[in-house]
Amino acid sequence: MTKTLFLFLFVAFSLTAAAQIKVSGVVYDEKNQPLPKVTVTLVGLAGTSITDENGKYTIQSRLSNFSLRYKLVGYKIETIKFSESKGAEIIKDIMLKPDVKELKAVKVTNKQNQLNNAQSINVVDIASLPTVSMNFEAILKTLPGVSTNNELSSQYNVRGGNFDENLIYVNDIEINRPILIRNGQQEGLSFINPDFVSSARFSAGGFNARYNDKLSSVLDVRYNKPDSNQYILTAGLMGISATAKTAFKNSHLLLGFRRKDNRNILGTQDTRGSYRPSFNDFQALYQHNFSSKFSINTLLNFNSGSFRLVPESRETQFGTINNPIRLKVDYEGQEIDNYYTYGGAVTGLFQPNKDVSVKWINSYFEIDERERFDIDGNYVFEEVDNNYGDGGFGPIRKNRGLGSYYSYARNSLKSTIASTELKIEHRVGKHDFTYGGRFEQAKYADRINEYSYIDSAGYILPANTNSFTFEDAIFSNNNLKINSISAYLQDSYAVSSKTDVQLGVRVNYNDLSGEVLVSPRFLMLYRPEEYKLWRFTAGIYRQAPSYRSIRDLDGSLFLDQKSQRSYNVSTGYDFAFNGLGTRLKFTSELYYKYADRMIPYVIDNVRIKYLATDVAKGHTYGADFSLGGELIKDLMSFFRVSFLSANQDVIGDSYLTRNAEGSNETIYPGYLRRPTDQRVNFSMFFQDRLFKSPTYKVHVNLLYGSRLPIGSPQIETYTDNFSIPAYRRVDIGFSNDFLDAEALKKPQFLSRYFSSVIAYAEVFNLLNINNTVSYLWLKDVNNVNYGIPNYLTGRQLNFKLIFKLKNK
């Protein structure tokens, strides 16, 4: 694995780039005043620059024939075509004319959007990223600060936090996720439709006060108006999708349907049987502009997921080279899980003048989850001889015993979340204010009926009785309603031409904990030079109790739980420079988080199990680094490495053990690793061209995450002294756009109807590494507990086609 990693890095950084064309200049308004914050982009290519306070810009292109687009809210878009020789340096000054209609409706969000501790996501690369999940969130796992250990799941951990601590917004609408999902194979399609996304920003910490109260991160996604009518069809071995984007004179419409069926991927796991997954998502967005000052936006969504498994058998090899052990299981029964999410939001936007913007968001979502399984497994442990002669395992050396385990569940959870929110943005002189309030009501109806047992001796009935008690039995009926209200105020201010400051505060109250939560937040940006940026953030982040966090391991609700609180600081440095014949961007950030109140938890696959009645304190610190740029013309590649340490001390925890003298001794564990303490994460997304052709491309996605702490259910709760091995994965994809602008020969029958036809061939888990996501804990005949690894997916081929209809 290490050799492969260094090989990819060597190839990436040893490439010699062709001479580029450099275009620089100044962007003025009609009064010959320089315009800052103008976005300059290479049309249809990956390359962006933003003018500085003096209106200056510099951008580079590897192509001789290209176009530059100059865009600033309130001004008409200007597009200039260039045809130059390689290595040329061009000076091009541009004057932008005001768009009178747009100036009247211009939003005050420019400084608010630009002044944040977040990075832009290159949404163009989503389709090229080889991933088994088919979800937008897959690209987040390549970003600094994000941990990874499960390719089947769209969930992610950020800087030592769990995925309950992440915020997701689509057009300012907060998105929630199902609760009952136990493992990644049950996950379907996430809310975000990748074909709808026009822009996205991600903050791994230090986010500002206009975002809600969570501890870790924010993903802010925008579905915006399309530039023109677009129709996209994607079909592959794992599913299909169809998207229509239509722009009218005073409105626009987005329609999207996605279907996912990943049974081929799931079939590469150790458990053999009949997998029948079916996941569907339908979204529609319609916006009508009644005037230049008022518009209404409606977003509707229906998402369904069905997972059915009839397991037949399982065979897993584990142990060590010198002492290999084989587990064989024969199954009876089945698992059927169903998840439905439906709802939507209506947003009214009123802009009376260029300095005021008022947005009113009303949303309602309902999530209906059901899981049913009734599975009986009969297993045998065997020690086997190593037989290196034939490259495999030899005969059985010792039988460790027979046993069985049984799992049963009839669980259901219905969640309804309704909210109304007012957001106001107001420019007063040099100050950009944003403030607002939100009311939310969440209702939960939870029915739990599940139990399991492990029998390592073939006999579980106690003597002199006709019944027996299951160790892991949960029976509960919970109904809960939570009302919460929050408000925020934020001011963004330019102290000088090089320094911007943002001050904000959030106030939150919910009737579950009865607390008033106050969260002040601070951000400062300093630009000593055009391509250098220093960032500093500080703030107090709070997270109120949720239904998931107050539900204890036995299914009961701990209604006296109080909010979690974390004190966060970070400093970052970004630097853009010329190197390897291209323009590169280096980003870095150091951070420290101290939490004086956390709710401890354990993680089982993708389910978080909170220890609701306990409280912990802890600290997390680390560093994130990334480097990206067009190593190959018009193809972005980026590399990142993250380091962290996340520890916690559960207050008052202790357990008894026997010392060397044979007497009992009380142990106070103190600070231990958190379940998300993944010390090192590395990722690489590298793109190249094949066969010296402009249309054939290769896309490599490499992920590495160091081992994670985990403990046996039979061991004391706070002594996670085992580890899940490091996560290592390489996915590779090959693509060809038959109608690429630089294609030497284009099929006429395709060019007649389509603007683009791209074929992808992908190999998932190229090195066929067995990555462990969790453990199945079983006992042998001597009552010795074993952790049998539950492996993720193996090597698998995939093919897909993307058709984009020609706009006539």
Query: What gap in Å lies between CA 452 and CA 375, rounded to an integer?
Result: 10
* Tokens 């290490």 belong to residue: 2
Of 96-110, 165-179, 459-473, 674-688, the least confident: 96-110
CA distance 609 to 601: 5
Q: Cα-flanking dihedrals φ and ψ of residue 186, to 5°?
A: -85, -15
* Sheet hosting strand 78-83, strand order edge to edge: 48-50, 39-42, 65-71, 78-83
Q: Give me the pLDDT at residue 693, please.
A: 78
Q: How far apart are CA 573 and CA 589, in angstroms?
A: 6
- % of the chain residues with pLDDT over 90: 54
Strands (E), 495-615: 499-510, 516-526, 532-543, 564-579, 582-598, 601-604, 607-610
Q: What is the mean pLDDT of residues 622-649?
A: 91
Across 201-205, 264-268, 624-628, least confident range? 264-268
Q: In the prediction, which pLDDT does 102 show?
A: 43
Pairwise CA distance, residues 586 & 344, whole Å: 39
The residues that bridge with 148 in the sheet, in sequence order, are none
Distance CA 44, CA 51 (A): 20
- Which is it for the CA torsion 547, 551, 556, 558, positive or negative? negative
Digit-coded pLDDT (tens) for 41-81? 887 665 678 888 788 898 888 777 888 889 886 688 888 88
Q: Which structure tokens are listed for 219? A: 């993903």
Q: Identity (one letter) of the amino acid at 519?
A: S
* Average pLDDT for 532-538: 94
Residues 669 and 719 sit within 8 Å (Cβ to Cβ): yes
**175 vs 362, 363, 679, CA distance in Å?**
13, 10, 29
What is the rounded distance in angstroms from the CA atom of residue 41 to the CA atom of residue 372?
Answer: 52
CB contact at 8 A, 444 and 415: yes
Is residue 550 a contact partner of residue 563, using CB atoms and an 8 Å limit?
no
Q: Give which of 120, 138, 225, 210 is closest to 174, Cα–Cα.
A: 210
Q: 4-18, 199-213, 644-658, 756-770 — which is least confidently predicted? A: 4-18
CB atoms within 10 A of CB 10: 10
- Average confidence (pLDDT) over 158-162: 94
**Whole-angstrom distance, CA of residue 287 vs CA of residue 297:** 4
Torsion of CA 183, 185, 189, 194, to 10 degrees: 100
CA dist., res. 459 & res. 109, Å (int): 68
- Written as one string, the DSSP assignment of 162-227 is -GGGEEEEETTEE----S---SGGG----S--TTT-SEEEEESS---TTS-S-SSEEEEEE----S
Asked if residue 715 has pLDDT above 90, the reply is no
Rounded to whole angstroms, the Cα distance separating 391 from 313 reads: 24
Cross-strand pairs, 410:
372
Model pTM score:
0.85
Supply the DSSP symbol for 528. Answer: S
Per-residue pLDDT band at 386 (split at 50, 70, 90): low
* Phi-psi category of residue 250: left, alpha or beta, with phi > 0 → left and psi -120 to 50 → alpha: alpha
- Tell me the C-alpha distance between 123 and 142, whole Å: 13
* Residue bearing the bigger pLDDT, 28 or 19: 28
User: What is the per-residue pLDDT across 506-526, written as a single tens digit (0 to 9) for each?
Assistant: 999 999 999 999 999 999 999
Number of neighbours of residue 88 by Cβ within 10 angstroms? 14
Using left for φ > 0, alpha for ψ between -120 and 50, and beta otherwise, residue 137 falls in: alpha
| Tens of pLDDT, residues 578-621 | 887 778 889 999 999 999 999 998 887 678 889 999 999 999 99
Number of neighbours of residue 784 by Cβ within 10 angstroms:
12
Q: Which residues pair with 81 in a beta bridge?
A: 67
Pairing of the two strands 48-50 and 56-61:
unpaired
Alpha-carbon distances of 723 from 628, 677, 709, rounded to whole Å:
32, 11, 4
- In what order do the strands lie in the sheet containing 217-222? 119-120, 199-203, 217-222, 166-170, 173-174
pLDDT in tens, 362-372: 999 999 999 99
**Dist CA 574 CA 242 (whole Å):** 38
So what's the pLDDT on residue 469?
A: 59
Q: Give tens-digit pLDDT for 21-43.
A: 889 999 998 888 888 888 888 87
Q: Distance of alpha carbon 54 from its chain centroid, rounded?
A: 37
Phi, then psi, of 2 in degrees rounded to 5? -65, -40
Position 109 confidence tier, pLDDT thresholds 50, 70, 90? very low
**pLDDT (0 to 100) of residue 512:** 94
Phi–psi pair at 172, nearest 5 degrees: 70, 10
Phi-psi region of 542 (alpha: psi -120 to 50; beta: other; left: phi over 0): beta
DSSP for 110-169 reads HHHHHSSS-EE--GGGTTTS--SS-SGGGGGGGSTTEE---TT----EETT--GGGEEEE
Which two three-digit tokens encode residue 121?
Answer: 């996501």
